[in-house]
Amino acid sequence: MKLPAHDGLAAILADPAGAVIGLDFDGTLSPIVADPAAAAVHPDAPAVLADLATLVGAVVIVTGRPPGTALALGATPAGPSLADVPGLVILGHYGMERWEAGRISAPPPPPGLDLVRAELSTITAGMTGVLVEDKDRAVAVHTRRCPDPEAALASLAEPVARLAEQVGLVVEPGRFVLELRSPGMDKGRALSAFLAERKARSVLFAGDDLGDLAAFEAVERAGIPGLRVCSGSAEVVELAAHTDIVVDGPAGVVAFLGAVVEALRAGR
């Protein structure tokens, strides 16, 4: 893949030790599937990230998934897994949980989740194809498997919003999903804090969904050269208007990062 001309990318290539590479998981490193539990990392992603991690300041995954789930889905039948990426940090639950060097740190789960689980069973009763995903510190409602996913999502928006308000949670919309999670943190805040922690001099963030807009905005506000990469799809078009480069899904992200690795090695 030929790398495009961009000031943010040029800064990363010129000073890789100061670069932070941030990535979403679902839709960016892992293809979207109907059942979230059946997701799997792109088979080439761990090896590319392992190579990249030896060349840049830091690689961080910022995801709505729990870190342990991302790690489990980040294993490949042959070759390295995400857990093998040197120095990798995973900020899960939009930054509420952190995995680093084999350890997870996190605050207590938010109150009200038991009520959310019970009420969602009632709200979604009789809706064919709706999937309620328990993420331990959050709960997500998926409509991708419904006969009419968009209509199902629209019908759930108001009752899910009322439920979230009742228990003090927020609703994170996504690709045929509504997630109820703790307030006070999003991917943008998580990425900004990590950039400050690592004293980053440049940043790249790749994402695919509405929840990644906050991270894209964090790249814009960071005050350092940055590059926003959209893992493109026909389902979400809003992100493309806020990005610098659009690639073709997770395969495109992996190919792009592989080209970055080659360019960094050539510049040594």
Q: What is the pLDDT of residues 198-242, one digit of tens each?
A: 999 999 999 998 889 999 999 999 999 999 999 987 676 778 788
Q: What is the CA radius of gyration of the chain?
A: 18
- Same domain membership, residue 169 and residue 145: yes
Q: β-strands 202-207, 177-181: how paired?
A: unpaired
- Same domain membership, residue 226 and residue 93: yes
- Same domain membership, residue 149 and residue 93: no
CA distances for 63 relative to 10, 12, 23, 187, angstroms: 26, 23, 8, 7
Dump pLDDT digits (tens) for 232-256: 876 767 787 889 999 999 999 999 9
- Same domain membership, residue 94 and residue 55: yes
Residue 2 lies in a domain: no
Going 170 to 58 to 249 to 34, the CA torsion angle's sign is negative
Domains identified in the chain, total number:
2
With cut-offs at 50, 70 and 90, classify the pLDDT of residue 90: very high
| pLDDT recorded at residue 155 | 97
Residue that is written with structure tokens 């208007």 in the block: 241
The answer on pLDDT for 259 being more than 70 is yes
pTM: 0.88
Dump pLDDT digits (tens) for 38-81: 999 999 999 999 999 999 999 999 999 999 999 999 998 878 89
Closest by Cα among 125, 131, 123 to 149? 131
Expressed as residue numbers, the domain containing 62 is 7-107+184-266
| pLDDT recorded at residue 79 | 81
- Same domain membership, residue 11 and residue 47: yes
Domain of residue 138, CATH code: 3.30.70.1020
| pLDDT recorded at residue 236 | 66
- Same domain membership, residue 27 and residue 158: no
Provide the token pair at 13: 């290539």
Dump pLDDT digits (tens) for 119-147: 999 999 999 999 999 998 899 999 999 99
